[in-house]
A and B are shown apart, each in its own frame.
Chain A
Amino acid sequence: MSLALLVPLFLLGLAGVVVPIVLHLTRRQRRNVVHFPSLMFLERIPYQEQRRRRIHYWLLLSLRAAALALVAVAFARPFFERDTSGVGAASGPQEVVVLIDQSYSMEIADQFDRALDEARRIFNELGPLDRASLVMFGQGARVVTRSTADRSQLTRALDTVQISSSATRFGPALKVSQTILEESELPSGEVFLLTDFQRNAWTGDEGIQLPAGSKVTAVQLGDETSDNIQVADVALAREAVSGRERVTPTARLTRRGGEQAKEVMVSLEIDGQELQSRPVTIPPNGSATVAFQPFTLSQPHTRGAVRVPSDDLSADNAHYFVVSPGTALAMLVVEGGAAARDASLYLQRALAISERRPFDVNFRRSSVVRAQDLVGTDGVIINDANVDGASAERLRRFVDAGGGLLLVLGQASGWPNSAADMLPGTIGQVQDRLQSRGGRLGFLEYGHPVFEPFAGPRSGDFTGARFFRARDFTPADSATVLARFDDGSVALAELRYGRGTVLVWTSTLDNFWNDLALQPVYLPFVHRISEYVGGRTEALPWFTVGQVVNLADPEALQTAGLVSAKAAGLVDGLDQVALTPSGQSVRLPAGDGPRYLLLEEHGFYVVRPPGSDPDRPFVIAVNVELEESNLARIDVEELVAQVGTATVGPEDGPDFAQATEMRMVDQERRQSLWRWVLLAAFSLFVSETLLSNWVSRKAGVPGVATS
């Protein structure tokens, strides 16, 4: 450690020390010169000035000289240069980024409070030139305070943060810290990661690379040893009994940790009232299933929850869901007037078979589609019929308004050219494949809702069906081909038209041109494609924290479980308010744009018009990400090692000279020796003044005190 000067040029001010000496020794008065005829008599007087050539008050002169010297030294900004070996310290002021995990697992053993305390300690130890950012993270990352040197602002920001319902992901947080460090002008950076280091939060391929001169300091807060029981899942089996829908909830419980089997009471709440409770014994690191008695579902937007007693981690002790009674889809099946009597036999039987979500089917043996036939209809299936132009125009308006149309092509199918633009392609001739023992479906778009249930293994095999005939179909550019035969020809194509959709199935849905109707997948396929055409959307009984719902999108609302906007009091074009599980109110103003609701908390979100209290408001259930309950820890060193740091090179990081200068400035600021030096100079000036006055009084004449 050596004494150094930040601005040594100010030492030139030491030359000012000679000023009092020169003033003492010189006998010329620079000011107020009087011309006098002769100094003959004046020079004969034994004059005091002669004594000015000698220094009489050494102490006074020393005080003045020392005070001036101290002022010069103070301006030179002295400091003790410390030999620092740490990366950050050696490179001067730091850009500090504090990442605090606010996932719900942090509630275990007051980890979140300890994280806040640790953050306060870090902020308090910041240097004068250091800058710091506060980033709260869960699945995402939120910059609370960005790159500031204001400690009070940082400390105040800590008072505003709280634990969330989200899971932990290190990637976004480290990415944010990487951005902050890259944008920083400070020569070095340090990222403090305050978390419980769950293994699930890090995949290792996040591609984080901090800039040169940066490092990650892991502050481990978690304790892996905990006993946590969570409601992992709730299955809601529905059945129609005597025209009413009954729901049988079955909860699956898992337990992490523990040493002995544990019996807990699992309760079922419906609309806030506990209906049932069941004891269940869960082994250590095991699971158990609890089946509740069925309850009758009569009201839309019925809230339910399965709870276990609270433990170390309370967020996963309840599983929330919302269920509503199913509604029948109104389907219109149009057959040609000359069609065989059993032309729609399989279709009719398939639509009639349903344990829940029944189809209300209206069969019409006529190629003419009347306007009244479409009133209250969700979807129309044209089964091998020759549609005239007027009917096509009615169907155009129907589809444009949001309806669905499935055109099943057969021998008698026909479509007027005037409405050809609403089809996904052009209908051609009959292609006969009898000689090749029929074709098969070679391609299915499993990502489409129609085929999505069949995507998994043993979820339905379409390849067993043989297709002997089909209509040639040339898809339009804007159409989407959802299924193709093995020869590449189109089997199913879709075109979004207006607010609705038009699908064309190029073969029949009976057993005339194919034997699909004899395959096991026929029934679910007909159900899925009818539901899709009818606009039925699978309502999700719950969402997961972090998901977003667009309340301006009708399909999204159906997915969210809105079955009765009237009962919920929701009217298009009016403002809405969402009450979060914690009681916060989120305004959702009306407008043409989307109306996003971010689901950040677990529990029930209630959406209603402002100032109203409808009987059955629209409710969205939100559950936590269950993998957050897995407290298995990642190796901290492994994580730090995987967070890459750019190699420090002359051309990489900040300029070395600049870094050195900033380090010196930082050390000088930290020590602030100039204040003490200046204080000493001031003290000397005061002492000099007192001494000078005393000497002056003693000498009797002002102005000669220093001589």
Chain B
Amino acid sequence: MMARARAQASARGGTQFLDPAVLARISNLELLSRTVVDGFLTGLHRSPYLGFSTDFAEHRQYMPGDDVRLIDWKLFARSDRHYIKLFEAETNTNFMVLLDVSASMSYGSHEVTKLDYARYLAACLTFFSHRQRDRVGLVTFDQEIVKYVPPSMKRMDTILHVLDQAEAGRAGSLKEPAMQMAELLGRKGIVVVISDFYEDPDTVLAAIAPLRGRGHDVIVFHVMDPAELGFPFDQPSGFEDLETGEQIPVIPNRLKDDYIRLVKNHLAELERRFTDNRIDYTLLDTSKPLDLALFQYLLAREHSSRKR
């Protein structure tokens, strides 16, 4: 947590482009993702996490001027000589994004809808991974898979196009698309799930856990609009479900506390259940910049590389 806070603090000056409201004005997703990732990396300067995604290749004797952080201290202990690690340039890790495009994702109480925010996030993460020479893929789903772009080094443009064309439509259900994805993704990789998770935590875990069970590193981004979190309504109104069309009269003053309490419980339960299943879970507020998500992603990669 200290590292993340430090990273956030150091990146604050270069993340002006990560503001969702600003990003919303950039229509080209490639330009957007490039802007975000380059700006983000520029802001990090000498990031300690640089190169973490590369694989070890060989040892080379230490020469003055080399980065002391690359010295293999275990080998020094055994041989009493300084060697540094050399890594391969690409790792060819599969990076899949599962993007929820159900109707509920079309909600937005301000300029950026949840789908827009998720789209930016997916584009940025994909672009980021693509620059790390990962094979990137994309799956959009609602109650079933809508679009599927298999992981590849050469389909970045396709992914960005699919993201650009993604529209929220039908009601969403995570279980079926997740089961299909578990069968489609044979090679272990990184799976990023972006959704608003309007389902029971048991159902969500039942859908996500198999991915983890197959050895994927699963990172979950829970996208929520600030209105969904704070329920700032005050006028008695008819609330209409974006997915089912059902409408009920609501007197916000009487329901606000109960609603917030239920939402918090839901989020807490999801976080607990994901954590228990060793799945990285991040709650994203669509009114907040994207850097939190990016940092979360980097932390996950760091965690993954340490395990290796």
Which residues of A are in contact with B by a Cβ distance under 8 Å? 27-45, 47-49, 52, 701, 703-704
Contact = CB atoms under 8 A, between A and B. Distances in A.
Given A33-B247, A37-B114, A37-B228, A45 B240 contact: no
27 contacts: A28-B247, A29-B237, A29-B238, A32-B238, A33-B237, A34-B239, A34-B240, A35-B239, A36-B107, A36-B240, A36-B241, A37-B103, A37-B105, A37-B225, A38-B104, A38-B198, A41-B259, A41-B266, A42-B248, A42-B259, A43-B248, A45-B262, A47-B248, A47-B250, A48-B251, A49-B250, A701-B254
Interface in B248-265: 248-251, 253-255, 258-259, 262-263
B259 A45 contact: yes
A36 B198 contact: no
Contact of B242 (A36, A41, A44, A701): A36
A41 B253 CA distance: 15
Contacts of B217: none
For A32, A38, A40, A43, the residue with the greatest tally of chain B CB atoms inside 10 Å of its CB is A38
B242 A35 contact: yes
Contacts of B104: 37-38
Nearest to A43: B248
Given A37-B225, A45-B258, A29 B242 contact: no
Given A37-B242, A49-B248, A32 B237 contact: yes
Nearest to A33: B238
Interface in B218-248: 225, 228, 233, 235-244, 246-248
B224 to A, nearest CB: 9
B142 interface: no
B238 A38 contact: no
A52 B236 CA distance: 14
Interface residues of B, number: 34
A507 to B, nearest CB: 124
Contacts of A38: 104, 196, 198, 241-243
Nearest to B256: A45
A40 B198 contact: yes
A449 to B, nearest CB: 106
B251 A703 contact: yes
Given A34-B237, A34-B239, A27 B249 contact: yes
B172 to A, nearest CB: 9
Interface string B266-278: 1000000000000
Nearest to A32: B237
Contacts of A37: 103-105, 107, 114, 196, 198, 225, 228, 241-243
A39 B255 contact: no
Contacts of A47: 248, 250, 255
Interface in B91-124: 103-105, 107, 114
Interface string B197-219: 01000000000000000000000
Contacts of B196: 37-38
Given A33-B237, A39-B239, A42-B250, 15 more contacts: A27-B248, A28-B249, A32-B235, A32-B238, A34-B239, A34-B240, A34-B250, A35-B239, A36-B107, A37-B103, A37-B104, A37-B228, A47-B248, A703-B251, A704-B251
Contacts of A36: 107, 239-242
A39 B248 contact: yes
B238 A45 contact: no
Given A33-B240, A34-B238, A42 B249 contact: no
Contacts of B241: 36-39
Nearest to B257: A45
Q: Which 3 pairs of residues, A with B, have the shortest CB-CB distance?
A: A29-B238, A37-B104, A38-B198
Contact of A42 (B225, B242, B253, B255): B255
Contacts of B107: 35-37
Interface string B9-20: 000000000000
Nearest to A52: B249
B11 to A, nearest CB: 30
A49 B249 contact: yes
Nearest to A704: B251
A311 B295 CA distance: 131
B240 A35 contact: yes
For A40, A44, A48, the residue with the greatest tally of chain B CB atoms inside 10 Å of its CB is A40
A701 B198 contact: no
Contacts of A33: 237-240, 247
Contact of B238 (A30, A43, A703): A30
A584 B249 CA distance: 86
A506 B242 CA distance: 129
Contacts of A29: 236-238, 247, 249
A41 B235 contact: no
Contacts of B238: 28-34
A29 B248 CA distance: 8
Nearest to A44: B262
Nearest to B259: A41
Interface in B103-160: 103-105, 107, 114
B228 A42 contact: no
B228 A48 contact: no
A555 to B, nearest CB: 100
B175 to A, nearest CB: 16
A141 B103 CA distance: 93
A704 B251 CA distance: 10
A48 B248 contact: no
A50 to B, nearest CB: 9
Given A27-B249, A33-B240, A34-B239, A41 B262 contact: yes
Nearest to A50: B248
A43 B262 CA distance: 11
Nearest to A29: B238
A34 to B, nearest CB: 5
B67 to A, nearest CB: 48
B115 to A, nearest CB: 11
B221 to A, nearest CB: 16
A42 to B, nearest CB: 6
Nearest to A36: B239
B8 to A, nearest CB: 28
A418 B114 CA distance: 131
Contacts of B244: 39
A24 to B, nearest CB: 12
A331 to B, nearest CB: 118
Contacts of B242: 35-38
B168 to A, nearest CB: 10
A34 B228 contact: no
For B237, B250, B258, the residue with the greatest tally of chain A CB atoms inside 10 Å of its CB is B250
Contacts of A49: 248-250
Contacts of B114: 37
Given A29-B236, A33-B240, A39 B246 contact: yes
A703 B236 contact: yes
Contacts of A35: 107, 239-240, 242
Contacts of A42: 239, 248, 250, 255, 259
A33 B255 CA distance: 16
For B198, B241, B249, B259, the residue with the greatest tally of chain A CB atoms inside 10 Å of its CB is B249
A41 B263 contact: yes
B156 to A, nearest CB: 30
A45 B255 contact: yes
A49 to B, nearest CB: 5
For B238, B240, B244, B253, the residue with the greatest tally of chain A CB atoms inside 10 Å of its CB is B238
Nearest to B266: A41
A40 B237 CA distance: 17
B232 to A, nearest CB: 11
A36 B254 CA distance: 17
Contacts of B237: 29, 31-34
A525 to B, nearest CB: 118
A30 to B, nearest CB: 7
A669 B248 CA distance: 50
